[in-house]
Structure 1
Amino acid sequence: MSSTFEPQEKLHSVSFHFPLASSSHASILQRTLQVDKERNPAQVTTTITPDEEGLNISIQTTTLRLLRMNVNSLFDSLDLIIRTIDAFGSPLPLVVGVPSAPAP
């Protein structure tokens, strides 16, 4: 008996644009988020692209459940990364319209 793996079609997707104060902040977020590999690349594809105005993120999945889980994980990670950068004294506001926390 022989079986072949058929990749599943990714029918569910969402895209976000996170406005940031500089392209260097977008690059930091991109590099930090891309450290972890997808657990199941046949079912989830995440694309992270920085630009001059922020960070573009697109997630495609085979099921709504996976989409929800990946979006929740993304927001948890972004929150932690932004708070960490802010805590260590980012010289510029990290997110457009949100001032940085004062240095301790």
Structure 2
Amino acid sequence: MSSIDNVTTLDIEVPFENSRVAEVVYHTLQVDTEPKRGGTRKNLVLEGNKLIAKFHGSNLSSLRTSVNSFFDNIHLITETIQLVGQPLSESYSHF
């Protein structure tokens, strides 16, 4: 975590068991944008089996709320994958 010009940056790297699960989580979270009123921005990057999230915000409380929501969503997505099983296809091409 770093702070420059009253903007705090937090980089989080989340490893998954394989790149396909990481891709499912990435695409699910990609559509969930941060509310503008919160003052926090989130950038997601997918690197193999790792999801990298970069949070930027000037308000630590809003930043904490965004990060908690991020992990809650990851928990929900991974629980759903465990419940219904691993993705069957090697890639997602439904766009």
- For residues 10-25 of structure 1, the aligned pairs below 5 Å read 11-25=7-21
Shift of 1:89: 1.3
The one-letter code matched in structure 2 to 1:68 is: R
Residue 47 of structure 2, aligned match among 51, 56, 67: 51
Q: CA deviation at 1:10?
A: 6.2
Amino-acid identity (%): 29
Where does residue 101 of structure 1 map in the other structure?
A: none
- Unaligned residue ranges in structure 2 (runs of 5+): 88-95
1:41 Cα offset (Å): 7.2
| TM-superposed deviation, 1:21 | 2.0
**Coordinate RMSD, CA, aligned:** 2.2
CA offsets 1:61-90 (integer angstroms, 9 cap, x no match): 111011110011111101000000111112
Cα shift at 1:53:
3.1
Q: Which moved more, 1:82-91 or 1:38-47?
A: 38-47
Query: Residue 15 of structure 1 aligns to which amino acid in structure 2?
Result: D
In structure 2, how many angstroms separate the alpha carbons of the residues matched to 1:81 and 1:20? 12
Q: Which amino acid aligns with 1:90?
A: Q
Question: C-alpha displacement at 1:42, in angstroms?
Answer: 8.0
Unaligned runs of 5+ in 1: 1-8, 92-104
1:29 aligns with 2:28: no
Q: Who is 1:86 aligned against?
A: 82
The letter for the 1-side match of 2:86 is: S
1:19 aligned partner, one-letter code:
P
Return the index of the structure with the highest Cα Rg.
Answer: 1
Amino acid at match of 2:36: N
Does the aligned pair in 2 maintain the 1:10–1:44 contact within 8 Å?
no
Q: Would you identify which runs of 4 or more consecutive aligned residues in structure 1 move more than 6 Å?
A: none
Pair 1:40-2:30 in alignment: no
Instruction: Please identify which structure carries the higher helix content.
Output: 2
